[in-house]
A and B are shown apart, each in its own frame.
Chain A
Amino acid sequence: MKKNRLFENIIHGIFLILGLITIGCVLLITVYLVISGIPAIREIGIIDFLFGKKWASTAEEPAFGILPFILTSVYGTAGAIVIGVPIGFMTAVYLSKAAHPKVRTVIEAAVNLLAGIPSVVYGLVGMLVLVPGIRKLFNIPDGASLFAAIIVLAIMILPSIIKVSITALDAVPKEYEDASLALGATPTETFFRVSVPTAKSGIAAAVVLGVGRAIGEAMAVMMVSGNVPNMPSLFQSVRFLTTAVASEMAYSSGLQQQALFSIALVLFLFIMLINAALNFFLKGNKEG
């Protein structure tokens, strides 16, 4: 009997360890980013680092200001949200409320496919279709720009926005919609004046998720944004927080490499903030 008990305890212990692995991973990532990210910030000075407008990591007198990256990431994400959210939201309302079930199945499969396409494939198509297209359309010397990145990001966040919004809209009780129809509202009025307000925290969560996706994307953006550390401007080559890390890591060393870790730390803080917001909206959804 005693032996049996011991055996059960061991098994319990093993599962406990497995359960704790996720927490361990989060701690590992946090600790590594903080430890490796702090030194450069100390050396450069937090103000100069965060608000410095010039990044010249390999110059004779190197400058490590990441304001261009921060602003590019913020503008790029905002741009993607401005374009992607209305399209995704409207598609979600249509699929959840108005579409014929067969249409819904087909388009949902398409949206899932969009979510599954590797980011380098987006980058490749962006490089060869979008970038030359922008160059010709706006008559600028190089189409690899913030604008190109915004378009690619807007497309890449569509699946998250659509899928999470659909889940929220599907959960709206039919009674609410019936009541609205019985008051003489048309179906379309009902979707937008009753169903959407009811699902608003879920839809907010979808938007926040989209923000997270957009700000964290590296490869596709790297392939279409030109990758020059300019202050952001719509039709100029720019560098994001993610691409700043990715583009120099392979050949960096010393303070330059440490500064890259610091950039990753800044990006991580952004993501943690977004996670907290996401949690807030999802919790609000459960209670409301």
Chain B
Amino acid sequence: MLKGKLSGKRKAYITAMRTAMLVSTVLTAALVLFLVIYVLIKGIPNISWELISTKPSYLSDKIGILPDIMNTVYIVLATLVIVLPLGAGAAVYLTEYAKNKKLVGMIEYAAETLSGIPSIIYGLVGMLFFCQFLNMETSLLAGALTLVIMNLPTVMRTTQESLKTVPQSYRDGAFGLGAGKWRVIRTVVLPGCVDGIITGCILSVGRILGESAALLFTAGFAHALNGIIDGLTSPGATLTVALYVYAKEQGEFGVAFAIAAILMILTLLINLSATLVGRYFAKRRNV
């Protein structure tokens, strides 16, 4: 009597569901594999020393992406320098100072709202506020400030999460020794959120590298080679924006794929480091 096998209907249902799960998963995996391999195969042969070490010249009709690389570096640095203290500070306020539940709720809701706003809207408001109202013109700095707003929720959230893992007893211990609030934060709380800040930093770098819509109207698409000070105050394309311009406006697909391959490799590295850092911190916390 135990040997009555599953009825045909049940068997069909199970087979259908299992097949759907497997097909979907294989499809997802195949998609990623295809994208990575396709972009690398089309892009890497187009990467040359000349391409990444020169600026474009109309005279010799050559394209170089060094300015775009430098712009990307500048904008990443400028954004991080501003967003890390702001985001971490907001997180410290939420976990250490804020007592009013309503205010905390509002701040968290605001952060959620920010992370849901599409980048094209950031670009537009960035253009109106930073470029026009604050008179920064189209510049890398205006772009960086726009990206600061975009990445604020990310840094805030990762810092908050790491602050939650600082045991209350540490704070109580420090307070018990008569330390003032700021001293407790500086000596006990802030060291505990370093991992959150680093994680937020990595995630932000990934988003900044990938961002384009928010930068089109704030940072512009110039290919001039500048130092960091001049660079921040003048317009410039990052790698993603340059990719868009070369592919869509100029039909230079070779260069576009070279940039795509560089971006793909950077994305791989960022994901890898996020995973490794996450594992490292998880291990350290468990010990």
Contact = CB atoms under 8 A, between A and B. Distances in A.
Given A91-B24, A116-B206, A275-B113, A18 B125 contact: no
A29 B125 CA distance: 6
Contacts, number: 248
A98 B18 CA distance: 9
Given A18-B86, A22-B110, A216-B120, A4 B21 contact: no
Contact of B125 (A32, A86, A125, A215): A32
Contacts of A111: 28, 32
Contact of A12 (B97, B110, B114, B247): B97
A90 B21 contact: yes
A212 B275 contact: no
A280 to B, nearest CB: 12
A113 B25 CA distance: 15
A41 to B, nearest CB: 16
B243 A12 contact: no
A275 B98 contact: no
Residue of A118, A188, A275 contacting most chain B CB atoms (<10 Å): A118
Contact of A29 (B119, B121, B209, B241): B121
B29 interface: yes
Majority-rule SS of A interface residues: helix
Given A117-B210, A123-B247, A216 B119 contact: yes
Contact of B113 (A26, A120, A124): A26
B182 A90 contact: no
Contacts of A192: 17
Given A91-B21, A186-B14, A123 B112 contact: no
Contact of B27 (A87, A116, A249): A87
Contacts of B260: 120-121, 124-125
A188 B110 contact: no
Q: Give the size category of A's interface with B.
A: 35 or more
Contacts of B248: 123, 127, 222-223
A192 B16 CA distance: 12
A274 B180 CA distance: 43
B117 A216 contact: yes
A125 B247 contact: no
Nearest to B239: A118
Given A22-B114, A121-B243, A28 B125 contact: yes
A264 to B, nearest CB: 5
Contacts of A33: 121, 124-125
B198 to A, nearest CB: 17
Contact of A15 (B32, B93, B153, B263): B93
A253 B177 CA distance: 64
B97 A242 contact: no
Majority-rule SS of B interface residues: helix
Interface string B103-129: 100110111111011111111110111
B74 interface: no
Interface in A94-121: 94-95, 98-99, 106-107, 109-114, 116-121
Given A8-B181, A23-B107, A113-B267, A15 B121 contact: no
B81 interface: no
A261 B212 contact: no
Contact of B22 (A4, A20, A94): A94
A120 B22 contact: no
Given A15-B97, A29-B125, A91-B24, A125 B263 contact: no
10 contacts: A15-B89, A23-B107, A36-B128, A90-B20, A109-B271, A111-B28, A116-B270, A121-B35, A218-B120, A242-B213
Nearest first, the 9 closest Cβ-Cβ pairs linking A and B are A216-B118, A18-B89, A19-B93, A118-B210, A90-B24, A94-B21, A15-B93, A110-B32, A22-B110
Given A4-B180, A118-B209, A125-B260, 10 more contacts: A11-B182, A15-B93, A22-B114, A28-B129, A29-B117, A94-B25, A118-B243, A120-B210, A125-B39, A275-B112
